[in-house]
Copies of this chain bind each other. A is one copy, B any other.
Amino acid sequence: MLCRSAILVGVMLAGVLGATVTAKAQALKDLRTPDTPLVLKAQGSFFVGGEKAEQTQVELGNLGPGGHITVNQMYVRYMVPQGGDGNVPVVMVHGATLTGKSWETTPDGRMGWDEYFVRKGHPVYVPDQVGRGRSGFNQAVFNDVRAGSVPAASQPSWLRFSDEGVWPNFRFGLKPGEPFSDSQFPVTAVDELAKQGVPDVSLGGLPAPNPNFKALSDLAGQLTGAVLMGHSQSGSFPLEAALLNAAATRGLVLVEPGRCPAYRPEQIATLVKVPILVVFGDHRDNPTGLPTLPTWQARFEACQELIARLRSAGGQAEMLNPPDRGIRGNSHMIMQDKNHLQIADLILQWIDERVSKRKSGPERSTP
């Protein structure tokens, strides 16, 4: 490992030194083609939600007069497998500073979870969070600040994660270029993960309550029932969507959730109606490099606490902790790890047993 680490340090330094070094990978040639074709009944994209907002000429960028635009809509791309439209749909929501790309082709060119779940028979829906990527964001305040009509501090900040911060916080290793000896993340393709980063305005730049909660709840309702899967920042979004419409959420999968909230008893009483799976990776006590945030082990423990409360109230909640099964080295980007299909199979098995085969319980008859 020392030799491999030394090479990686060299690669990282080539990327890290200098303000504008061309990122090295040529991703297209690294894409792997599956052995069998993908047969889709349907694929495409659409939007959920959105509201009209009236804005001034300045707020619209000063090319034409003021008028109305749509804000807070959620872009959703979908694939429905041939013969699979009777199976439970799975909605995959990405984390902070990322987009739906998280679930697509991995940084080193392997099949993403989006396609894998489709090949396993599930219709898959991949949104960009409201305020991010193809969902857009409300630009009005930035143009007002530029014009001097409101103070600069009126505009929210944009969050990005640096390469140096991602290594410890996403638990690839202690430091850039020094992966854990058992790391499952494909660290030689870490520069391709870096390209997935986009500015994130959701800390202060979205209305309250976060419009993603209702959009996901509405999406599950329009699908007449879905498994909602969140990751990291959006790890708790499925819980919030279930609180709005538990009957539409047939199951919740929280992948490395940033938080498992301390819900009130009446909220727990709603959440016990829905099967819940929490998934974490390894090396959770690694220092994140972000001292204002809890470690991943602390978040894991908060989720264990929530699971215990749900179970004692009669709920079907459980933890998928790969190290308990002898699976070591998984990172925060577990859907991109080298063993990502092994983890996916465990989630698919849970969906099969806890969601697809589930008899209509009392919670299904009280929408």
Contact = CB atoms under 8 A, between A and B. Distances in A.
Given A44-B112, A69-B197, A199-B136, A162 B15 contact: no
Contact of A101 (B48, B75, B290): B75
B146 A68 contact: no
Interface residues of A, number: 104
A82 to B, nearest CB: 4
B198 A134 contact: yes
Q: What is the oligomeric copy number?
A: 2
Contact of A54 (B19, B27, B290): B19
A279 to B, nearest CB: 23
Contact of A46 (B47, B55, B105, B148): B105
B139 A199 contact: yes
A37 B60 CA distance: 41
Nearest to A69: B160
A146 B136 contact: no
B43 A27 contact: no
A80 B47 CA distance: 25
A278 to B, nearest CB: 24
A40 B163 CA distance: 34
A100 B75 CA distance: 11
Among A46, A104, A143, A157, which residue has the most Cβ atoms of chain B within 10 A?
A46
Contacts of A169: 64
Interface in A101-149: 101, 104-105, 109, 111-112, 115, 128, 133-137, 139, 142-143, 145-148
Given A43-B115, A162-B67, A197-B69, A61 B157 contact: yes
Given A67-B165, A101-B134, A194-B69, A142 B158 contact: yes
A146 to B, nearest CB: 5
A15 B52 contact: yes
A233 to B, nearest CB: 12
B53 A20 contact: yes
A29 interface: yes
A225 interface: no
A350 interface: no
A199 B158 CA distance: 14
Interface of A: 15-16, 18-23, 26-31, 33-34, 37-55, 60-70, 73, 75, 77, 80, 82, 99-101, 104-105, 109, 111-112, 115, 128, 133-137, 139, 142-143, 145-148, 152-153, 155-165, 169, 191-192, 194-200, 203, 219, 222-223, 289-290, 292-293
